Amino acid sequence: MPALDKILQAADENIPAALERLFDLLRIESISTDSAYASECVKAADWLVADLQSMGFAATRRDTSGHPMVVAHTGGTGRHMLFYGHYDVQPVDPLNLWDRAPFDSVIEDTPKGRVIRARGASDDKGQLMTFIEACRVWKSVTGELPGNITILFEGEEESGSPSLIPFLKDNADELRADFALVCDTGLWDADTPTISTMLRGMVTEDFTITAANKDLHSGAYGGPAINPIRVLTRILGTLHDDQGRVTLPGFYEGVPDISADIKAQWDALNFDVETFLGEVDLTTPAGEQGYTPLEQIWARPSCDINGIWGGYTGEGFKTVLPSQASAKVSFRLVGDQDPVAIDVAFRKYITDNLPLDCRVDFRESDGARATNLPVDAPEFTQARQALNDEWPNPAIFAGCGGSIPIVGHFQSILGMDSILIGFALDDDQIHSPNEKYALRSFEKGIRSWIRVLGALT
d(CA 215, CA 206) in angstroms, rounded, equals 21
Is 239 among the residues that bind its own copies (CB under 8 A)? Answer: yes
Residues 6+ apart with CB under 8 A from 277: 283, 284, 285, 293
Is 355 among the residues that bind its own copies (CB under 8 A)? Answer: yes
Residue closer to its own copies by CB (options 307, 392) is 307
Please report how close the Cβ of residue 197 comes to its own copies at its closest, in angstroms.
16
Selected from 9, 39, 53, 238, the binder of its own copies by CB under 8 A is: 238
Residue closer to its own copies by CB (options 18, 229) is 229
Give the N- to C-terminal CA distance of the chain in Å, as an integer.
Answer: 14
Strand 201-210, strand 324-333: pairing? antiparallel
Is 347 among the residues that bind its own copies (CB under 8 A)? Answer: no
Cα–Cα distances in angstroms (integers) from residue 309 to residues 157, 313, 350, in the given order: 31, 8, 16
Please report how close the Cβ of residue 204 comes to its own copies at its closest, in angstroms.
5
Residue closer to its own copies by CB (options 394, 401) is 401
How many residues comprise the chain? Answer: 457
d(CA 395, CA 390) in angstroms, rounded, equals 10
Contact set for its own copies, span 190-209 (CB under 8 A): 200, 202, 204, 206
Cα–Cα distances in angstroms (integers) from residue 80 to residues 76, 145, 170, in the given order: 9, 13, 19
d(CA 128, CA 18) in angstroms, rounded, equals 12
- # chain residues binding its own copies, by CB under 8 A: 78
Is 1 among the residues that bind its own copies (CB under 8 A)? Answer: no
Residues 6+ apart with CB under 8 A from 341: 250, 253
Is 94 among the residues that bind its own copies (CB under 8 A)? Answer: no
Please report how close the Cβ of residue 115 comes to its own copies at its closest, in angstroms.
22
Residue closer to its own copies by CB (options 51, 295) is 295
Contact set for its own copies, span 247-286 (CB under 8 A): 273, 276-277, 280-286
Please report how close the Cβ of residue 77 comes to its own copies at its closest, in angstroms.
39
Residues facing 18 on adjacent strands: none
Phi, psi of 437 (to 5 degrees): -135, 130
Please report how close the Cβ of residue 71 comes to its own copies at its closest, in angstroms.
29
Helix H or strand E encompassing 225: none
Residue closer to its own copies by CB (options 148, 227) is 227
Helix H or strand E encompassing 38: helix 38-54
Strand 194-199, strand 371-372: pairing? antiparallel
Residue 138 near residue 145 (C-beta atoms within 8 A): yes
Selected from 93, 217, 274, 432, the binder of its own copies by CB under 8 A is: 217
Contact set for its own copies, span 381-420 (CB under 8 A): 400-403
Please report how close the Cβ of residue 212 comes to its own copies at its closest, in angstroms.
4
Is 293 among the residues that bind its own copies (CB under 8 A)? Answer: yes
Residue closer to its own copies by CB (options 169, 234) is 234
Is 300 among the residues that bind its own copies (CB under 8 A)? Answer: yes
Is 354 among the residues that bind its own copies (CB under 8 A)? Answer: no
